[in-house]
Each structure stands twice: as structure tokens, then as C-alpha cells.
Copies of this chain bind each other. A is one copy, B any other.
Amino acid sequence: MAELRSAEIIAVGSELLTPHRLDTNSLFLTGRLNECGIDVIGKSVVGDVVDDVKRTARAALDRVDVVVLTGGLGPTSDDLTREAVADLLGTPLDQDERVLAAIQARFDRRGMRMPDTNRKQAQVPRGAVVLENRNGTAPGLWIDVGSRVLLLLPGPPRELQPIFEEGAWPRLSSRAGARRVRRRVLKIAGRPESAVEQVANPVYAPLEAGDPPIQTTILAAPGQVELHLSARGSDVDAMDRALQQGVDALAEALRPAVFSVDGRSLEVVVGDLLADRGARIAVAESCTGGLVLGRLTDIAGSSAWVVGGVVAYDNSVKVSELGVPESMIEQHGAVSEPVALAMAEGVRAALGADIGVAVTGIAGPTGGSEAKPVGTVVIAVSAVESRTRTFLFAGDRAMVRQQSVLAALDMVRRLY
């Protein structure tokens, strides 16, 4: 059978044509398709309109080997992707008893009656391969159309991704030929994009001219910069070696700001460091209002190294729960290095943790002064030794908070 080389992704849903929603599944799908050497040459969004779905899918099938349709597989009357595809292919929709039983069982497990509307999710275009959905009611569908493939996936990412991995990926990669794309990512905290670029640029040039050539992209988010390296070809070992050399050279040039070369997020890196050392952490938060702890406890199993913390949003809590002297707040202000350190020491002592972290700052938009403008954030870490640092972050309230969270986690990382 012909190799699969090109793809288009079509997101179905009228909500994706409003000013409120973006299709984000295409990022995940593009990454995985690229990995098995399939280029995405176009993406589109259409509403819940049978004719639009049909027209767009038909045109894509004329151009590319794989057409991925996401969304419109739900139980409501808006959900028309199944019908549109059956119509396009001129095949009937059959009720699939195994799918129906799986949907029924899902409701049974929750002690709920299955609404009649869910029955339509068991309708399958004749000849389609059903891809099991462990996290929802709509199965994925793999449909061979001559030498081409039509892949239907439900819209929710937590349903789409496992179906893709378990059901679609094995089929796609076995038909994709030898061409592969390999990628590596370096993650960097606490340096602005332009500073990273300046250091990385002289390292890039020989990589891009190398054999195999490495393509580089820089991506910035508040408080974090990522360098993406990729290689294309069929000699996976040679590509991986060249990528490793590139990663090593960039990590060396950007040391110690590089916190991850293996995909791990900063909170996972910090959690792994703490778990390795059997150290437990407590956090006192003012301007971040719980977001540092929220990020740390995103990780399953974080109870092994997170004791907890105090959100001291009001100054009274800094005094009553963390033992910060009122006089210190009066003298230095709540956003000051002495107060941050007293908060870190206070939360460490109160909760019996090995490490105390504190964040106090002015997230804005109000509350700034000439001496302490909006974006001023003080972070303290109290452990065997103590560290305190004052930052001035740019951006709006959400960006200041996000940069504060990353800076606090990065100060913990740099203890080790």
C-alpha cells in the first residue's frame, strides 16, 4: 500500500468559529503526525454544517493521504461529523452493538441512565474500524478510502489523545515509510527570549549546516523560554546523535538556566529533586495566591514532598499564621526581602517542612509605587541556607503571577 506522507486536519464545531474558542488539538496531532514523517500541509475549521464538513473533507481527500477530522462526534443534535462522513463516502451508518454496550456500561458504572441521545454515538459508517475511547462515549473511527485514510476523533483532548495513541498511531506509523522527524526541547527559566537568542545564535549556526541538519526554533512564554531542535531523515540513530550534540552544546552555553532537556516541566524537575533527597517543602504565598502550591500539587504523588502552605493574601495572615512581626511589615513593607524571608522561615517552621518558600509582590494593576512598581516580586527560600531575591517582572497581572511561580520553583531547583 502507498506510504502515508501528507495530512490535513479539519476541526468541526461551530463554537470554533466564534470569537471564543480555538482548536488546539491540531498541535498535538501535528506533533505526532510529524514524528512518523507525515507533513501537515493544511488545517481548517468548519461549523456543524453537513455540507461544509463534506466539502472540506472531500477536498482534503483529493490532496493528502491522511485527513483527520476532530469533533462533532458528541451525542447532541449539533454533532454531525459521522453523518457527513457517511454521506460523503456513500456508506450507511450501522449501529455497532459493542460500541453501544460500552457506552451503556459507562453510564451503568456511574449509576446513571443512558440518555437516548447517546445511542447515535454507536452509529458507525460501514467498513470503519472502531478505535476504543476509554475516557468518553464517542469512539474514534479509522476509515480506509482507497489508499487514503479518514480518521475521526472526538474533540475533547483527554479523549482524542489516548484514542490517537492507542488506536491510530500503530496504524499510521506502520504505513508511514522510513522518513521520520526527531525533536528535542531545552527549557530555560529566568532569562528573556532576547538573552537566550544572543547566547544560542552562535551555537545554532553550525547545527543548521550540519549533517543531518538541525532546525531550531525559539518559543517564549512568561518566565520560560524553549529551544526546539528537530531533524528530518530516515537514519534515526544519526539524527538522535546530532540532536544530542546540539542539546549538549546549548545546555553548556546556557548553564545554569536550562532546567530540562527531557521534556519535564519545572514543577516535575523540582519534585524529582525533592523526592530524591527526601526533602519536603512548604510555601507561603501572597501575590501568587496559591498558584505555586497549585502547580506543585498538579503532579500525582506530590504528597510525598509537599507538606502544604499558607496563602497570606492579607497582611494579618502573614502575622498570625507565619509569625512575621507586625513591626517588620510596617518598617519594610509587605513586599520586602526581610518579610519574604520571615514568611519562608515561618511557613517552614509552622508546617515542619525541610524547605520553606515565600512569594510576596505587587501583581497589579494597582498597588505599585515609584519605589516598588507593579511587577516587583520578592521570593525567599529558607532551607539549610537561605536565599532572597527581588525581581521586576513585565506584563499584566496574570503574566506577573506566572513569572513569579516559575521564578519561585526555579529558586528551589537551584538549591541543588
Query: Which residues of A are at the interface with B, using a C-beta cutoff of 8 A?
Result: 14-22, 24, 26-28, 30-31, 34, 39-47, 49, 52, 56, 59, 74-76, 78, 110, 115, 117-118, 135, 158, 183, 193-194, 197-198, 217-219, 228, 280, 283, 285, 287-294, 296-298, 300-303, 306-314, 316-317, 320-321, 350-352, 363-366, 392, 394-399, 401
Contacts and interface: CB of A to CB of B under 8 A. Distances in A.
A84 B194 CA distance: 22
B110 A394 contact: yes
A289 B307 CA distance: 10
A44 B308 CA distance: 45
Given A19-B27, A41-B47, A308 B317 contact: yes
Contact of A17 (B40, B49, B135, B397): B40
A45 B42 contact: yes
A115 B194 contact: yes
B303 A313 contact: yes
Contacts of A285: 290
A311 B289 contact: no
A194 to B, nearest CB: 5
A308 B311 contact: yes
Given A20-B219, A296-B289, A310 B309 contact: yes
B14 A42 contact: no
How many copies of this protein are present in the complex? 2
A61 to B, nearest CB: 15
A365 B300 contact: yes
A289 B300 contact: no
A71 to B, nearest CB: 11
Contacts of A291: 290-291, 294
A364 B297 CA distance: 11
A158 B30 contact: no
A268 B40 CA distance: 40
Given A17-B30, A118-B194, A308-B314, 7 more contacts: A42-B52, A117-B197, A117-B198, A285-B290, A288-B297, A289-B297, A289-B302
A117 B16 CA distance: 37
15 contacts: A15-B217, A19-B28, A20-B27, A20-B217, A42-B45, A42-B47, A44-B44, A75-B194, A78-B218, A158-B399, A280-B314, A285-B290, A289-B294, A303-B313, A308-B313
Contacts of A34: 18-19
Contact of A41 (B52, B290, B317, B392): B52
A59 B350 CA distance: 65
Closest 9 CB pairs of A and B: A289-B297, A290-B290, A19-B31, A290-B293, A44-B44, A290-B294, A308-B317, A308-B313, A291-B294
A310 B321 contact: yes
A268 to B, nearest CB: 13
A14 B226 CA distance: 14
A313 B307 contact: yes
